[in-house]
Chain A
Amino acid sequence: MLTASGLTVRLGGRTILDGAGFTARRGAVTGLIGPNGAGKSTLLRAVAGLLPHEGEVAFAGKPLPSDARSRSRLLGYLPQGHHVHWPLTVRRTVALGRLPHLGPLGRAGRADEDAVERVMAATGVAGLAARAVPTLSGGERARVMLARVLATDAPVLLADEPTAALDPGHQLRIMALLRAEAAGRQCAVVVVLHDLSLAARCCDDLVLLMPDRRMIAGDAATVLTSSLLREAYGVSFAVTRAAGIPVVLPQYPTPIPDIIQSGD
């Protein structure tokens, strides 16, 4: 179990997080949701140890090591954007995920190569291994970057909007891969998501970050209620169910602004 408690982050004089905390179970996918600016990405980066913060993050009852290298074996982090700065090949990009495991000389061993092949096969990018990342489509690139973070073999995986800018098919594929990883290796997976219906469908637990810094945790039925969502996002939501899973439809603000009514 991953436990974050009392996380406070101040950036440029603004308090972004004020005593935030949540738990993420092993073998489950925990979704962080909330409006823009509520601090989802900041929370994820604080947990990853990428931001100076107060408070504590513990895994399996022990505080995370402060040393970056030992921490990197425990915690895989996938940032937003899926950008690679050089036209590296897919295989080489995925292999970067093995860096925490390499010895002082940086030579990749048999186990590293096996891990790279395994995650490329699991994410369906083995056929792209020799392609340069910038030549890939958005969906392919998202899977390559997911493979990169899976290659770390870390028991905690943090992914910041891994489904952004993807079509519904690719969104579900990415989430299915994360679910399989959580179940298969008993990882604690934490995902920042914007699509609430996707979150309801694919996450075991949800944490809703409110504009007033409160945090509501629970399963989809507890968190995705029209009153909580209205408070969080400032618009009304129609919450229905399909196959027992909440489906969330945001409503136009009333009165509808002219720009939307006139249709242009």
Chain B
Amino acid sequence: MRTLPLLSGLAVALLAVSAAGLAIGYAPLPLAGVIAGLFGGGDPLAVAVVREIRLPRLLLGIEVGAALGIAGAALQGLLRNPLAEPGLIGVSASAGLGAVVAFYFGFAALSPYALPGLAMAGALVATGIVLAVAARGGDGGLTLILAGIALSSLAVALTSLAMNLAPNPYAVTEMLLWLMGSLKDRTPADALTACPFILAGCGLLLATGRGLDALALGEDAARSLGVDLARLRLAVVGGSAAAVGASVAVSGSIGFVGLVVPHLLRPLVGHEPGRLLLPSALGGAVLVTLADLASRLIPTAQEVMLGVLTSLVGAPFFLLLILRVRREAW
């Protein structure tokens, strides 16, 4: 089983959904207009719609999806648990808390960088705490999960507190809508802000493949094969924090992508954790772009928020997965 056919298949799928993402939207544009608009020619309105609205939305979808997919795959490999997810180690909730703080104190209105900056800061602080606790706990996997759960709960509680104490209902609405997760009304600046962090995070995670493979044999065997476990943990958790923190910073929290994508692709790479990383990034990009397209096509009065949509599909999938994992026990 080789990875190349799978990667090319995913790349073709990504191109196809990207084309659809550019072609389909609220403004009725003919296909020729979209293509002309993409390259800056033709109707100025079409240029604005394609370059200022649809393209940033598409690029963000790809960035966010890739970040969630690869972080999910890497965390599942590190924890040797197919139920692991970026949300599990507290990164998503803490980034969300950072964003809510930005809204609460009005920083978000002061600078366009305040919201993503604080969200990423939240992700980094959470990562630091989780890593410190896990390092003291000795056995990495379980302590890491427990610390992540504790931290997530704390971040959610603080987020609720901020809403509880919010000065006006408008601020609460703003926070809530943002937390639901969406790619709506994002600017090219959003796509650019998140990009370097997501790229750096993905790069860090891609380099962990060999260590994750060795971990399939257990921690002692992996160390005896020359894997530095502390460094591996740092790379996986730090890379996930950068990539997922940056994506939560620009899109809010979009659940279950990091869980579903690696799980669907794993059998196609012979269950090898290292070989799962790159396909999961591509698969995540395809899934988020596709889900974003669906959120635009579903005829509701209000656009269904992307995070709501992925959770509506993802949560039942998660339940099914638990049932199946229990039965197989790999």
- On whether the two chains bind one another, the answer is yes
Q: Is A10 an interface residue when CB atoms closer than 8 A count as contact?
A: no
Q: Is A55 an interface residue when CB atoms closer than 8 A count as contact?
A: no
Q: When A85-B218, A85-B330, A86-B271 are in contact, do A72 and B224 touch as well, CB less than 8 Å?
A: yes
Least distance between B282 CB and chain A CB atoms (Å): 20
> A81 vs B217: C-alpha distance in the bound complex, in angstroms?
10
Q: Is A87 an interface residue when CB atoms closer than 8 A count as contact?
A: yes
Q: Is the CB of A50 within 8 A of B216?
A: no
Q: Is B80 an interface residue when CB atoms closer than 8 A count as contact?
A: yes
> Which residues of the partner chain A approach B218 to less than 8 Å between Cβ atoms?
79, 81, 83, 85
> Which residues of the partner chain A approach B209 to less than 8 Å between Cβ atoms?
106
* Segment among A92-100, A242-250, A252-260 that sits at the interface with chain B: A92-100
> Which residues of the partner chain A approach B214 to less than 8 Å between Cβ atoms?
96, 99
Q: When A96-B214, A106-B209 are in contact, do A86 and B226 touch as well, CB less than 8 Å?
A: no
> Which residues of the partner chain B approach A45 to less than 8 Å between Cβ atoms?
220
Interface string of B2-32 (1 = CB under 8 A from A): 0000000000000000000000000000000
> A210 vs B216: C-alpha distance in the bound complex, in angstroms?
34
Q: Is the CB of B80 within 8 A of A85?
A: yes
Q: Is the CB of A134 within 8 A of B330?
A: yes
Q: Is B52 an interface residue when CB atoms closer than 8 A count as contact?
A: no
Q: Is A76 an interface residue when CB atoms closer than 8 A count as contact?
A: yes
Q: Is A59 an interface residue when CB atoms closer than 8 A count as contact?
A: no
> A89 vs B215: C-alpha distance in the bound complex, in angstroms?
15
Of A75, A78, A79, A148, the most chain B CB neighbours within 10 A belong to A79
> Which residues of the partner chain A approach B216 to less than 8 Å between Cβ atoms?
84-86, 88, 93, 96
Q: Is the CB of B224 within 8 A of A76?
A: yes
Q: Is A68 an interface residue when CB atoms closer than 8 A count as contact?
A: yes
**Contacting residues of chain A (25-73) with chain B, CB-CB under 8 angstroms:** 45, 48-50, 68-69, 71-73
Least distance between B4 CB and chain A CB atoms (Å): 14
Q: Is the CB of B217 within 8 A of A72?
A: no
Interface string of B177-215 (1 = CB under 8 A from A): 000000000000000000000000000000001100111
Q: Is B324 an interface residue when CB atoms closer than 8 A count as contact?
A: no
> A87 vs B1: C-alpha distance in the bound complex, in angstroms?
14
Q: Is A237 an interface residue when CB atoms closer than 8 A count as contact?
A: no
Q: Is the CB of A79 within 8 A of B220?
A: yes
Q: When A92-B270, A92-B272, A106-B210 are in contact, do A84 and B217 touch as well, CB less than 8 Å?
A: yes
Q: Is A152 an interface residue when CB atoms closer than 8 A count as contact?
A: yes
> Which residues of the partner chain A approach B273 to less than 8 Å between Cβ atoms?
86
Q: Is A102 an interface residue when CB atoms closer than 8 A count as contact?
A: yes
> A154 vs B217: C-alpha distance in the bound complex, in angstroms?
18
> Which residues of the partner chain B approach A86 to less than 8 Å between Cβ atoms?
80, 216, 266, 271-273, 330
In-complex Cβ contact of B271 among A77, A79, A87 (8 A) = A87
Q: Is the CB of A75 within 8 A of B271?
A: no
Given A88-B216, A134-B330, 19 more pairs with CB closer than 8 A: A48-B220, A48-B224, A49-B223, A50-B223, A50-B224, A68-B226, A84-B217, A85-B80, A85-B217, A86-B80, A89-B270, A93-B216, A96-B213, A96-B216, A97-B225, A99-B210, A99-B225, A106-B209, A106-B274
Residues of B within 8 A of A (CB): 80, 209-210, 213-218, 220-221, 223-228, 266, 270-274, 330
Q: Can you report 8 residue pairs joining A to B where beta carbons are below 8 Å apart?
A: A50-B220, A50-B224, A75-B224, A86-B80, A86-B216, A96-B213, A96-B225, A99-B225
